[in-house]
């Protein structure tokens, strides 16, 4: 059954960039497999607004393991009183790995939101940055931008399912949007997190859909 799109809806494509794809320094599991469903969803043109986010880190970003003496990728540290994963260097401003992925047609985008631009603050969510030294999570402005356009329903695809997609969905729901994650149009850093990710989404009222609910079978 095809999912009925409610009025005033937005599609958010999170961080679909080469550095998160196969061969990238922070490759997500089976990330290349999301390209086809994302393209199929875009081809339907069933949303009022289209948004893409783009990880856009300065060199020496605080989330990079290489920035910390002795730090190794995927180490966990405390930063500003909260857990922080140290990542391989990725999506450095101006590099080919930080570009929006060339296999996606980005022509429909009404907004491209760059995040993670502050060297001292990580940024997973499309809606809020991670905690900073003032124990705050600054807003990116996306929630206000969507509400000004009467968007009530947010549909999320992209990378990574267990990090930036999850945080974006949680923040969208907290901001009052009806929130949906198109599961097969996302991919995780590691599939070992899938059960926990699904439970967290469902517990918070985030609905999980499949791309087939948007794209009729040929």
Query: Which residue would you say has higher pLDDT here, 217 or 23?
Result: 23
28 catalytically annotated: no
Contacts of 70 (CB under 8 A, 6+ apart): none
Domains of the chain: 9-60+88-213 (3.40.50.850)
Is the per-residue pLDDT at 65 higher than 90?
Answer: yes
> Taking the model in full, what pTM does it have?
0.95
CA distance 169 to 191: 18
Q: pLDDT tens across 100-122, in order?
A: 999 999 999 999 999 999 999 99
Give Cα 60 distance to the centre of its chain: 22
Q: pLDDT tens across 127-151, in order?
A: 999 999 989 999 999 999 999 999 9
Which of these, 79, 63, 80, 77, lies nearest to 135 by C-alpha position? 80
171 catalytically annotated: no
Mean pLDDT of the chain: 95
189-197 own/partner pairs: CB under 8 Å, 24+ apart: 189/26, 189/28, 189/29, 189/160, 189/162, 189/163, 190/29, 190/162, 191/29, 191/30, 193/161, 193/162, 194/161, 194/162, 196/162, 197/161, 197/162, 197/166
User: b/e per residue, 57-76, with b = 16+ CB within 10 A?
Assistant: beeebbbbbeeeeeeeeeee
Edge-to-edge strands, sheet with 111-115: 111-115, 49-55, 9-14, 153-159, 178-187, 207-209
For residue 4, what pLDDT is reported? 63
Q: Which band of pLDDT confidence, cut at 50, 70 and 90, is reported for residue 200?
A: very high
203 catalytically annotated: no
SS3 101: coil
Q: Of 115, 122, 171, 215, which is the active-site residue?
A: 115
Q: Of 28, 91, 157, 164, which is the active-site residue?
A: 164
Q: Of 15, 122, 162, 171, which is the active-site residue?
A: 15
CA distance 32 to 25: 14
For residue 6, what pLDDT is reported? 62
For residue 7, what pLDDT is reported? 73
């Amino acid at each position: 059954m095809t999912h009925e799109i409610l009025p005033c809806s937005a599609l958010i494509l999170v961080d679909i960039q080469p550095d998160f794809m196969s061969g990238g320094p922070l490759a997500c599991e089976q990330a290349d497999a999301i390209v086809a469903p994302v393209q199929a969803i875009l081809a339907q043109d069933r949303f009022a607004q289209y948004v893409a986010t783009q990880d856009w880190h300065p060199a020496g970003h605080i989330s990079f393991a290489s920035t910390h003496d002795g730090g190794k990728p995927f180490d966990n540290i405390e930063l500003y009183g909260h857990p922080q994963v140290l990542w391989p260097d990725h999506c450095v401003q101006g590099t080919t790995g930080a570009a929006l992925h060339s296999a996606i047609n980005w022509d429909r985008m009404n907004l491209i939101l760059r995040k993670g631009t502050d060297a001292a603050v990580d940024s997973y969510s499309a809606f809020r940055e991670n905690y900073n030294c003032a124990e705050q999570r600054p807003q990116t402005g996306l929630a206000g931008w969507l509400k000004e356009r009467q968007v009530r329903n947010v549909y999320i695809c992209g990378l990574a399912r267990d990090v930036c997609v999850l945080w974006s969905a949680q923040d969208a729901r907290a901001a009052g949007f009806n929130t949906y994650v198109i599961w097969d149009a996302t991919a995780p850093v590691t599939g070992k997190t899938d059960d926990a990710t699904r439970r967290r989404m469902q517990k918070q009222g985030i609905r999980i859909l499949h791309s087939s609910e948007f794209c009729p079978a040929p």
